[in-house]
Amino acid sequence: MTPTRIAFHALQYRLATVSDSFTNSRFNAEQVATTAVESADPHIDGLIRQITEIWTRAGLDPAEITEPWYGPRIDQVFRDDPALLDAIDDIIRAVHRVQFSRPRRRLNQPQHRPAHR
C-alpha cells in the first residue's frame, strides 16, 4: 500500500460525491495526493492512517484500497462511517494549508537588512 495511491483514490471518490463535472483541469487529485504525502505533515499521515483503519474495519480487502474506489460496498462504508468523508476533506484542507501557508518569521531574526560597511 502506498499512501499516495490511497490518498489519490480517496480524493477521486470524494470528488465524484460532490459532482461529476469536476475535471483534472479544476482539481488534480493525483497532484493533491502527491503533495499530501510528500509534505510529511504528521496530521496528513494520521488522516491517511485513519482512512486505512476505517477501510479495514469495514471488512474491505486491504489490497483494494490502492485501486479505484467504486461500488455499493464502498458507498456503504461512507454511509456507515462519516469519519471517512471527514478525513478526506481534512486532507484537502491540510494540503491547502501546506501549499499556501507562509513560512513563519523567526523571532530572533532582525526585521531589517543590516547596513553595508
C-alpha cell at 5: 495511491
The model's confidence at residue 1, banded by pLDDT at 50, 70 and 90, is low
Note the pLDDT tens digit of each residue in 28-71: 888 888 888 888 888 889 999 999 999 999 999 999 999 999 89
pLDDT value at 21 more than 60: no
Report percent pLDDT > 90 for the chain: 33
pLDDT value at 17 more than 80: no
Q: pTM of this prediction?
A: 0.74
Locus of grid cell 487529485: 29
**Separation CA 78–CA 69 (nearest Å):** 11
- Closest listed residue to residue 11, CA positions, set 37, 42, 43: 37
> Which pLDDT score, from 0 to 100, does residue 25 have?
53
